[in-house]
A and B are shown apart, each in its own frame.
Chain A
Amino acid sequence: MSEQLAEEKVAVILQEDSCSRCSVCSTLCPYEALKKDTETGKTILDIEKCQVCGLCYSTCPSKAIDVIYYDLDSLTRYLERAKQEYDSDTLVIMCKGSAPDFTGVEGLFGVTKFIPLSVPCVGRIPGEVFFKAILMGIREIYVLACDGDYCRFERGSLVTGRKILAFNLLLEQLGYGKEVITLKRNSLKVKVDTDSCITCGNCVFYCPYDAAKLESPGVVSFDLAACRGCGLCVAVCPAFALDLENWEREHISDLISKLSSEMQTPKILVFRCQWAVFPPLNEESVPNIRYIDLPCASRVDTSHILEAFQKGIDSVLIAACSEEDCKQEKVSGKTQRLIAGLGEKLNQIGLQDRLHFCTVAPRYSEGFNRELEQFSQRIEAIGSKEGE
């Protein structure tokens, strides 16, 4: 294992030569992955602890940290391309954790035409990106971060808030006007249809945050302040009485239909946890593979997997975080068990080997690609289920 990992391409690299040993990164790192060696004074990166939030990258004053996802170059290239494509002078940068669904942007910011930029944690965006965007002719920037308490990277939202405050002052002094960057905070929450609730208590049992409570006699109540929007309760509700705001069941169903219609066979649909896989901004489109990025693997609903098969998808891959890396309270393990239960049933009807659950982490950038390649090869070998 360790030998294999030694050869792995890691997502964050600390350039010792450039490091000024200022300790900004080790102070900010939410996971103690960056630490100052008390004897040598050097900063040391422990990649095993790293969750690739990018806070160190965006704040390092010496540019001593390289990150392979959403670095300054790739963000700049994206903006240049997207500005043409979307033909807009409004940029919306969103944390995938709080509002992954761009259809909700209009309601939140009141903008209809904009350049979307979705990243796992806005705290990773280097300051230069804001300035480059303005130099490109972008006039308004909206940033959607998670509510501070719900930030999956603990300090990402906080750091963003401080940065934007400083940048706005700077931009005003430079004559670009007031409040060029607008910050808004949001977090995903459960939606309850009390009329459909059968008060079975499944959500109460599964909720890792004690947000669901069964109040006798037969009333389930949700403490939305405690809800962290993982979606596990939605996936286990036997009465379809729950849904996840901005990630409604019907929305995902529509997405499955749309994706299936544009794919070639054998069709592979991948449900990805946004914290397990960081897709590149210019992700190449393979004709027989499509992705649905979810705010957490626990939002993967077994009924959506079956629906995908019904709509002509040949195989489904689920990429989740390991329990240790789970940004929620170890819900990925529970999801894995739910998926395994469905897998057993699929075996019974002759759809074995067409559903696979894997755990990956963005710290090893090739991990997901390797899983996908292996799965693709397997599916290519058994072919489309329609053709059997």
Chain B
Amino acid sequence: MIVTTQKPLDEILDFISPYSNILIVGCDGCTQPPRGLREAKTLSQLLELGGKLRNKNFNFKTTTTTKQCDYYLTASALKPQMEGMETVLSLACGIGVQTLAELFPEIPVFPAQNTHFMGAEEREEGILEERCAGCGDCILALTGGICPVARCAKGLLNGPCGGSEDGKCEVDPERDCAWALIYEQLKQRGKLQLLDEIRPPKDYQLSGWRVKP
């Protein structure tokens, strides 16, 4: 999923303070928990309360989209709801925000979220970690299904480095050393010979700026 966190409410209040009629648009897409109707309603309630303490009254309308990054789905879902709206506040990742901005060029669109990375959630802890850097040249087949590009602090292809200690990374003692994880995984599978080969630097151009699937 694409991982986002909500922006500080003060920042959002600053965005919307010149406007009164605001559409908050959720996204049921890939975040967990989805920033759908509940999040949209919660944000409207918080902003209404925050606005009141700042002597500002807002009129919020809340809605959600199946996948805000999908131009056509979002257009059909939102166009009928835009009447009288002065601005749109998006709960989606940066992609959804840009889709809305393209869709409604005449009105300002604001992000309510900061977008971090593509990752997964440790649900018990409620913590999200990056898992994929979108490099365009996947090497997971060679690394035991653990991505060093995303999960090694240095993105090393021939790890671990000298900063790996007791399976942890020198950058942050709470962070697992991706290469220690890779080593253990390959050892368990009897595939340690995969580490013998020295891998040349990746061609990051393969990530590309556009592709045709």
A309 B33 Cβ-Cβ under 8 A? no
Q: Which residue of A lies closest to B13 (CB)?
A: A349
Which of A136-144, A232-240, A260-268 lies at the interface? A232-240
Q: Which residues of B contact A388 (CB under 8 A)?
A: 53
B34 A239 Cβ-Cβ under 8 A? yes
- A388 vs B55: C-alpha distance when bound (angstroms): 11
- A200 vs B98: C-alpha distance when bound (angstroms): 24
Q: Which residues of B contact A351 (CB under 8 A)?
A: 49, 53
Q: Which residues of A contact B49 (CB under 8 A)?
A: 306, 309-310, 346, 349, 351
Q: Which residue of B lies closest to A386 (CB)?
A: B52
Q: Given contacts A306-B45, A345-B9, are A238 and B34 in contact (CB under 8 A)?
A: yes
* One of A239, A303, A350 near B50 (C-beta < 8 A): A350
Q: Which residue of A lies closest to B47 (CB)?
A: A349
A239 B53 Cβ-Cβ under 8 A? no
**Total A residues in contact with B, Cβ cutoff 8 Å:** 26
- A70 vs B34: C-alpha distance when bound (angstroms): 45
- A179 vs B114: C-alpha distance when bound (angstroms): 65
- A307 vs B41: C-alpha distance when bound (angstroms): 10
- Judge whether A164 is part of the interface by a CB distance below 8 angstroms: no
B38 A349 Cβ-Cβ under 8 A? no
- Judge whether B170 is part of the interface by a CB distance below 8 angstroms: no
**Total B residues in contact with A, Cβ cutoff 8 Å:** 27
- A257 vs B53: C-alpha distance when bound (angstroms): 21
* Residues in A316-374 with C-beta less than 8 Å from chain B: 337, 342, 345-346, 348-351
A349 B9 Cβ-Cβ under 8 A? yes
Shortest beta-carbon distance from A198 to chain B in Å: 4
- Judge whether B48 is part of the interface by a CB distance below 8 angstroms: yes
Shortest beta-carbon distance from B197 to chain A in Å: 38
- A236 vs B48: C-alpha distance when bound (angstroms): 22
- State the main secondary structure of chain B at its contact with A: helix
Q: Which residues of A contact B38 (CB under 8 A)?
A: 237-240, 303
A303 B34 Cβ-Cβ under 8 A? no
B9 A302 Cβ-Cβ under 8 A? no
A238 B33 Cβ-Cβ under 8 A? yes
- Judge whether A86 is part of the interface by a CB distance below 8 angstroms: no
Shortest beta-carbon distance from B48 to chain A in Å: 6
- Judge whether B8 is part of the interface by a CB distance below 8 angstroms: yes
B36 A198 Cβ-Cβ under 8 A? yes
- A385 vs B126: C-alpha distance when bound (angstroms): 32
Q: Which residue of B lies closest to A337 (CB)?
A: B126
Q: Which residues of B contact A303 (CB under 8 A)?
A: 38, 41-42, 45
Q: Which residue of A lies closest to B126 (CB)?
A: A337
* One of B8, B32, B41 near A348 (C-beta < 8 A): B8
Q: Given contacts A345-B9, A349-B53, are A310 and B48 in contact (CB under 8 A)?
A: yes
- Judge whether A78 is part of the interface by a CB distance below 8 angstroms: no
A205 B123 Cβ-Cβ under 8 A? yes
Shortest beta-carbon distance from B58 to chain A in Å: 12
Q: Given contacts A205-B123, A238-B35, A349-B50, are A200 and B9 in contact (CB under 8 A)?
A: no
- A179 vs B53: C-alpha distance when bound (angstroms): 60
Q: Which residues of B contact A200 (CB under 8 A)?
A: 28, 32-34, 36
A348 B10 Cβ-Cβ under 8 A? yes
- Judge whether A202 is part of the interface by a CB distance below 8 angstroms: yes
Q: Which residue of B lies closest to A350 (CB)?
A: B53
- Judge whether B171 is part of the interface by a CB distance below 8 angstroms: no
1/0 per residue, CB under 8 A from A, across B160-171: the answer is: 000000000000
By Cβ-Cβ distance, the 3 closest A-B pairs, closest first, are A349-B50, A306-B45, A348-B9
Residues of B within 8 A of A (CB): 6, 8-10, 13, 28, 32-39, 41-42, 45-50, 53, 64, 66, 123, 126
12 additional A-B pairs beyond A202-B33, A239-B34, A303-B38, beta carbons within 8 Å, are A196-B37, A236-B33, A238-B33, A238-B34, A238-B35, A239-B28, A307-B45, A309-B49, A310-B49, A348-B10, A348-B50, A349-B50
19 contacts between A and B (CB under 8 A): A198-B34, A200-B33, A200-B36, A202-B32, A202-B34, A237-B38, A238-B38, A239-B34, A239-B37, A239-B64, A303-B45, A306-B46, A307-B45, A310-B48, A310-B49, A346-B49, A348-B8, A348-B9, A350-B50
